């Protein structure tokens, strides 16, 4: 598909329409007759969030000539719900009490209902995607990768094996795979060529890696009020980019010896965070190269802006 | 589709081939590179289980003239994995330590990995079903119903509102919906008519209701060695058929006043269990009526036998 190019104003209108449709789709599919599931889903969905995955899908679709943002909003909603489901389950395992500036589902409804709400959001993904035949395998594989990444992370922490290699594998699976699914699905919905689809898939993947690295840096340097979620939890849990990149042979075991504050101070004084930021910037450079396959357009510029925001954001 | 009728021996061969293919499909899709997910999945899959849902799907398919049991084995595997995922998460919420005669995933790997293993099995369902385009919506809706049923159950227990009506709604959602999906998908794969599909869907639904009632009776009257899973947990948790059917106004609150043993004794002496058994038999009668849409065949007889076994089993 190759529609007429839209200007910046038209693009913003299409993007805003698409994002509004994403919100409606997420609320509609989680409108259960079971109060707790509906209320807990709304609680976390109404809190907002960056919606970077739906944005990525919509902008990829628009950059490749797609125009039916309403049709595309359901897969975009499915991807955001998948992320939301994993966040709800994460907060059980990490005892996170703050999420998107609100108490976590776990904190408000307790573990049993948080577990079931996460499951429910995941079944909602499945329902939303059912009509999008050929795209199910892309999202299913990303879902499996996400769970594998979370499991490797928990396992690396438990075994004091949070090395740099483990870290890169973990963030590829738990974060970048879903970003790649978002851009891949956006490209396929726009009937992009195989080459275009591959480049945009890589764009999403690189963006996802950079996003997670920056997320982990922010966990270290920002406080909860700024982030709107429980922060500073990576070091005590022996994980995250700083633990992986610091000089202490990549083991998370340091937290057993030193108090968290001391480690944090040490990391802030060293060049660990600087190295991590540099890595994120290199990944965004790669992502920008992936974009060169696209003709110039307002949507292409918006994808580039999105990529820059990923490394420049402070929450 | 309407294939030549197979005799009893041929039917058994096809069913055994199909069930063996189901096992292979479940092991293949859970063969993760992540050790814990692969090992925990194998742990629970190798323990066996009744496989009643795949049997129901395969026999429905065969009764309606289908013959390609290998093709059908993947949706059948998906349904069994969906059930298995819910069982793994149940054992977290119920603190179940025994399942299918083995320690539960929760007991062996701990809560975090049990939660992730359940999530992983669910993503495996999604992957398995991706190529079966028109069937995804049936299974997705059953998945949502399952989670809604589990949530209503946990909610009814918490609020001391485990009434007879709540019980029937809960077992319809948490169990019968997936049985219905199994027979519906079996019928659709055999290209059955709408009328045939509807009757077989009802057959599965009635069978599922009866199955859960009998399961709850067995939880009450059998011990763990016989069941191979944690038993006697319904009464202390204020739920199950006995709590719903007993004379004490359907509230689960009785367990606060009386010790579990006393309640159990009371239920065994009264006609609560007799009433529940009667209800299960009535449901099986309805299921038998649903089967009258089918021409006589070895597969039809096997479906009738399956239904009788559901009410006559002792584990």
Cβ separation of A151 and B113 shorter than 8 Å? yes
Mean pLDDT of B165-169: 92
To the nearest whole Å, the CA of A168 is away from the closest chain B CA by: 15
- Residues 174 to 213 of B: which have CB under 8 A from any A CB? none
What are the tens digits of pLDDT across the range A132-149? 989 999 999 999 999 999
Q: Are A6 and A14 in contact (CB under 8 A)?
A: yes
CB of A143 within 8 Å of a chain B CB? The answer is yes
Contacts 24+ apart (CB under 8 A), A130-136: A130/B136, A130/B137, A130/B140, A131/A74, A131/B137, A132/A74, A132/A75, A133/B133, A134/A188, A135/A75, A135/A185, A135/A188, A135/A189, A136/B126, A136/B129, A136/B130, A136/B136
What are the tens digits of pLDDT across the range B68-81? 999 999 999 999 99
Cβ separation of A146 and B140 shorter than 8 Å? no
Mean pLDDT of B231-244: 72
Cβ separation of B127 and A140 shorter than 8 Å? yes
What are the tens digits of pLDDT across the range B84-122? 999 999 999 888 888 888 899 999 999 999 999 999 999
The H-or-E segment that residue A65 falls in is: none
Residues of A in contact with B81 (CB under 8 A): none
Of B229 and B254, the structure prediction assigns the larger pLDDT to B229
Question: From A133, which residue of chain B is nearest by alpha-carbon distance?
Answer: B133
Mean pLDDT of B53-77: 97
Domains, chain A, with CATH or none = 8-312 (1.10.600.10)
Most confident of A264-278, B13-27, B162-176: B13-27
Cβ separation of A34 and B112 shorter than 8 Å? no
Sorted by sequence, the CB contacts under 8 Å of residue B100 that are 6+ apart come out as B44, B47, B48, B49, B228, B229
* Residue B185: both structure tokens together: 């998908």
The H-or-E segment that residue B266 falls in is: helix B260-269
Cβ-nearest to A144 among B123, B129, B150: B123
* Residue A37: both structure tokens together: 């599931």
Integer Cα distance of A218 and A239 in angstroms: 14
Cβ separation of B151 and A122 shorter than 8 Å? no
Residues of A in contact with B86 (CB under 8 A): 119
Cβ separation of A127 and B148 shorter than 8 Å? no
Confidence check on the interface: ipTM exceeds 0.95, yes or no: no
CB of A152 within 8 Å of a chain B CB? The answer is yes
CB of B34 within 8 Å of a chain A CB? The answer is yes
> For residue A192, which of A121, A295, A43 has the smallest C-alpha distance?
A295
Q: Are A50 and A10 in contact (CB under 8 A)?
A: no
Cβ separation of B144 and A124 shorter than 8 Å? yes
Cβ-nearest to A123 among B33, B92, B144: B144
Q: Give me the residues paired with residue A99 across strands.
A: A102
CB of A129 within 8 Å of a chain B CB? The answer is yes
- For an interface test with A, give the residue of B119, B132, B150 to mutate (most A CBs within 10 A): B119
To the nearest whole Å, the CA of A123 is away from the closest chain B CA by: 5
Q: Provide the pLDDT confidence category of residue A254 given band limits of 50, 70 and 90.
A: very low
């Amino acid at each position: 598909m190759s529609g007429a190019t839209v200007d910046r104003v038209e693009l913003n209108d299409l993007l805003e329409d698409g994002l509004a449709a994403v919100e409606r789709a997420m609320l509609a599919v989680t409108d259960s007759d079971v109060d707790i599931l509906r209320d807990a889903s709304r609680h976390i969905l109404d809190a907002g969030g960056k919606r970077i995955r739906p944005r990525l899908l919509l902008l990829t679709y628009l950059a490749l000539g797609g125009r039916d943002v309403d049709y595309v909003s359901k897969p975009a909603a499915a991807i955001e719900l998948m992320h939301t489901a994993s966040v709800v389950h994460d907060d059980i395992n990490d005892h996170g009490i703050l999420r998107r500036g609100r108490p976590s589902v776990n904190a408000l409804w307790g573990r049993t209902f948080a577990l079931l709400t996460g499951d429910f959001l995941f079944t909602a993904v499945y329902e939303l995607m059912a009509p999008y035949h050929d795209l199910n395998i892309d999202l299913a594989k990303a879902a499996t990768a996400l769970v594998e990444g979370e499991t490797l992370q928990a396992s690396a922490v438990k075994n004091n094996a949070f090395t740099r290699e483990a870290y890169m594998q973990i963030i590829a699976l738990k974060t970048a795979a879903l970003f790649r699914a978002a851009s891949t699905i956006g490209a396929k919905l726009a009937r992009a060529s195989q080459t275009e689809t591959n480049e945009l898939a890589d764009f999403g993947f690189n963006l996802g890696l950079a996003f997670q690295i920056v997320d982990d840096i922010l966990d270290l340097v920002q406080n909860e009020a700024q982030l709107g979620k429980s922060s500073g939890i990576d070091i005590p849990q022996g994980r995250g980019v700083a633990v992986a990149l610091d000089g202490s042979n990549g083991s998370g075991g340091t937290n057993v010896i030193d108090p968290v504050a001391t480690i944090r101070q040490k990391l802030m004084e060293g060049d660990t965070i600087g190295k991590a930021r540099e890595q994120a910037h290199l990944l965004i450079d790669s992502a920008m190269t992936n974009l060169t396959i696209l003709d110039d357009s307002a949507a292409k510029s918006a994808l580039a802006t999105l990529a820059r925001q990923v490394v420049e954001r402070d929450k």
